[in-house]
Chains A and B, each alone.
Chain A
Amino acid sequence: MEFATYKSDVWGREVIRGVSWDLLWLVVVAAFLIIAGHAIYEAAQKRGDKPSSDGARVTRHEMIDRVSHWLMAASMIALLITGIFPIIGIEFAWLELHWIAGILLTVIVVLHILRSILAKKLADMWISGGDLKEPFEESQKPGKYSLAQKSMHASVTVLTALVIVSGILMFMVIDSPWWGRSNLLTEASLGWVFLIHGLSTLALVGVICMHIYFALRPEKLFYTRSMIKGWISKEELDANHDTERWTPDETS
């Protein structure tokens, strides 16, 4: 199995064409095995009762953040469908849909960054030394976000930045409503851009599989509910978070 594919450029020199899409099946199989392994491991664990969702509630995600998350998810799914389906043989006119979804994702990411800088605490998402103790000390509870959640966010941040930057470069050399096709990039450079776009896409497929799996796990389902309705119960807060590190507002 090759990591990249190669071609001859117009001068006959070998240059990178892009990622080898055979890796897609490797990623899918690896994600499936990890998910299956984790599910079996969790099934074998004895867990106490889940904290109740009744009673007092606290705000976990404001409406604007929830809308931003689901718009980002929708555009990401649209990008994966329009980008990957034609590769696996489901052919349709995908290109315009792909770059439209790409523009939507870029705009949402820019707004998310601005909001994170101007209206939120960036430190909430940084991985600190305290976070690293979580897996080893049961008494160490997370603040608003666990180490796993912060790691997931960091991965998605890096990979999304890579697909957006490479996607913009690819978009700039094709016809669009605003500009014509150009030879902005040499064939060798274009190959690297395609490779980075493809590799980060493959990594995102794996990361998104994990994200969806953990979002649907029974013991994590209250986080998914909070991304829809905005709140978690006080009992869920006390059971899963260190209220000295995260003190959310009560809500109705």
Chain B
Amino acid sequence: MASFDVMPDVQLYQPTELDDALNLAEKFGDSGWLVGGGQDTYGWLKDRAKNPQAMIELNGIEALHGIRETDDGIEIGAITNLREIIRDERITRDYSLLSDAAGRVASPQIRNVGTLGGNLSQDTRCWYYRRGLDCYRAGGNTCYADGPESMNREHAVLGASRCVAVSPSDTATALVALEAIMIATSVDGVREIPAEDFFVGPDTHITQMTALDANEVLTAVRIPSKWAGKRFYFEKVADRDVWDFALVSVAVAMSMDGDTISDSRFVCGGVACVPHRLTQVENAARGKSLSDESADAVAALASQGTKPLNYNHFKLPLMENLVRRAMRG
């Protein structure tokens, strides 16, 4: 694959008002590229695997920065960087699931510039796709990762439909567990999208990772107070401890009634194209206490319905063991 040391010929827009950014997104549509921290962007451009006509850099828009309290929880501007989230007192106190997840993203340097919106909207890391091959996700008619000889150690074990890529976002699992609402804004207005519906699978949208339309900007993430201060568990397993994507991760929010779990959300990352809710585990965990016995009783449910590829069977015991560790108390 050709590689280049210089940026491609691309128009750069740096709006300072949201309305200007929305108009630009409307104008360029699919040929525009929204940039936050640029940590996903510049690799694509360097390799010329994506060739947008225009880049719309959102960092100058003040309204997209910062963490605010709302009547029911908090709202995080999409351009807020991950370091701010990790260090925010309200988040570490009430929604530590998110700060824990954000703290496991890549490396300190990347977290300093990487934004929440970028981490949620980033494209998959399937190396066949990122190499620029014309696979299903790139609009082609085949999947290079799901063949008898394919290297698919890091690919999906659930929810694949032709494409077997997985969502690489660490914060996505936490936000699905926290029942966050994504605020998508365009010149046509504002859409509130539940986090669970924000991430889309290949069965419906094979060339997209999110429900964002080409003219929409993810402007904020709202986290309701429902899970504030509850019991959380986040764990990410990767080949390296830093600067790596999850092989499997788990984000868990649990509402406790005394010693027993009254409600919970278990979400697995790295196993499907979207953050994967473990609803069978959630149902089984209800009414159970946090103990080794409970952990053993529900853990096997984590991998139910999986369909591993040639090289990723190891993800099944990982899923089970991460759930087991979340339930151990």
Binding site for B on A (CB under 8 A): 7-10, 17-18, 91-95, 173-175, 181-183, 187, 190-191, 194
Contacts and interface: CB of A to CB of B under 8 A. Distances in A.
A183 B204 contact: no
A194 B142 CA distance: 11
Most B CB within 10 A of own CB, among A7, A173, A181: A181
Contacts of A181: 143, 146-147
19 contacts: A7-B134, A7-B140, A7-B141, A17-B134, A17-B139, A91-B204, A94-B203, A95-B161, A95-B162, A173-B142, A175-B307, A181-B143, A182-B147, A182-B148, A183-B147, A183-B149, A190-B141, A190-B142, A194-B141
How big is chain B's contact interface, by range?
10 to 19
Contact of B203 (A7, A93, A194): A93
Contacts of A182: 147-148
B133 A10 contact: yes
B160 interface: yes
B161 A93 contact: yes
A174 B162 contact: yes
Greatest chain A CB density within 10 A among B134, B139, B160, B205 is at B134
Nearest to B162: A174
A93 B162 contact: no
A18 B147 contact: no
Contacts of A9: 134
Interface in B181-238: 203-205
B204 A93 contact: yes
Contacts of A175: 146, 160, 162, 307
Nearest to B1: A12
B144 interface: yes
Interface in B119-173: 133-134, 139-144, 146-149, 160-162
B310 to A, nearest CB: 9
Report, nearest first, the 9 A-B pairs whose CB atoms are least far apart: A7-B134, A93-B203, A181-B146, A183-B147, A91-B204, A194-B141, A93-B204, A7-B140, A17-B141
Contacts of B205: 91
B203 A95 contact: yes
Given A7-B134, A95-B203, A174-B162, A191 B147 contact: no
Contacts of B160: 175
Given A181-B147, A182-B148, A183-B147, A92 B204 contact: yes
Contacts of B144: 10
A67 to B, nearest CB: 32
A139 to B, nearest CB: 53
Interface string B104-130: 000000000000000000000000000
Given A7-B140, A94-B203, A183-B149, 6 more contacts: A7-B141, A17-B139, A95-B203, A175-B307, A182-B147, A183-B147
A57 B312 CA distance: 67
A201 to B, nearest CB: 14
A201 B144 CA distance: 26
A183 B142 CA distance: 9
B319 to A, nearest CB: 20
Interface string B21-65: 000000000000000000000000000000000000000000000
A209 to B, nearest CB: 26
Contacts of A7: 134, 140-141
Contacts of A18: 141
A162 B142 CA distance: 21
A7 B134 CA distance: 6
Contacts of B204: 91-93
Contacts of B139: 17
Nearest to A187: B142
Contact of A183 (B140, B141, B148, B203): B148
A182 B146 CA distance: 8
